[in-house]
A = this chain, B = another copy of it.
């Protein structure tokens, strides 16, 4: 580890400029600055972090756009490092809640070391007998999203029919496994044979299909759910949502977690079958993990034993080194990743 207090080099992933359409690696660049490994004199309530893992998440696409209206996130700042969820170690702290040596997860920078001047939202990691990288996924924001989205918004009942799109992703693979634990019949879709195999053979989905090989999504869903769908965990949007609406059952529930098929389009696709919501009394509800972090302790009580007992598994797609972070991030939007995409900045 670098000497504390000394100035060291600090590799960073810089956001170049606002993006339209699919993001490219050239929308980011790697630079090297320097940083002192101490909270600067007079900075109260701050921490200096050594970043270990950073998380690539679909919601980051919106932050690459110039947002001309209020959103739940800010745009990235051109010329500044990307930021997002990650796992880090506290090297120095002037905040009473954190001390040197603590492991934390939460918002940090895409760089080797970050000075965080508002660390209140960093969550201290208490359990280290699981892979630390899991705090970017199953034990982090995507994990809370899957848990709260399924249990709080969709209230699954034994025997219900559950459909998950983008089902091998960071959130989807967990939703499917939670729904199986709740006694549901679960089908997932993904964009390659490899991912479909994972769904069926690794995550225990009852069935799965490759949406790219289905000319008629509504027919594919009808085939997988002859009785219809009770719960849809929405990660995709657009044509997929339209096909789902036709196949929903009365009193169906849709947790709207993301719409990744839409993020890179100049104009989103229309959704044409919303009138189905009326006759079927469908409930659709949007979801952000941030609203549910108060459930985190209860969530850990369920998930940590399930991980240790092998009742829940988690597949990660791990890129090595900050210099590979741009490729990892843009790969999300073409589905290049298999499982939860993250980047190792440093192993502790």
Interface residues in chain A, defined as those with a beta carbon under 8 Å from any beta carbon in chain B: 62, 69, 71-73, 237, 241, 246, 250, 256-259, 262, 267-288, 291
Contacts and interface: CB of A to CB of B under 8 A. Distances in A.
A341 B280 CA distance: 25
B275 A262 contact: yes
A287 B278 contact: yes
A120 B285 CA distance: 35
Contacts of A73: 279
Q: From DSSP, what is the main secondary structure of chain A's interface residues?
A: loop
A278 B258 contact: yes
Contact of A267 (B269, B272, B282, B283): B272
A271 B237 CA distance: 11
Contacts of A271: 270-272, 274
Contact of A288 (B279, B283, B288, B291): B279
A268 B279 CA distance: 16
A284 B248 CA distance: 15
A281 B145 CA distance: 13
A286 B279 contact: yes
7 contacts: A237-B274, A270-B272, A282-B286, A283-B283, A283-B284, A283-B286, A284-B285
A326 B271 CA distance: 33
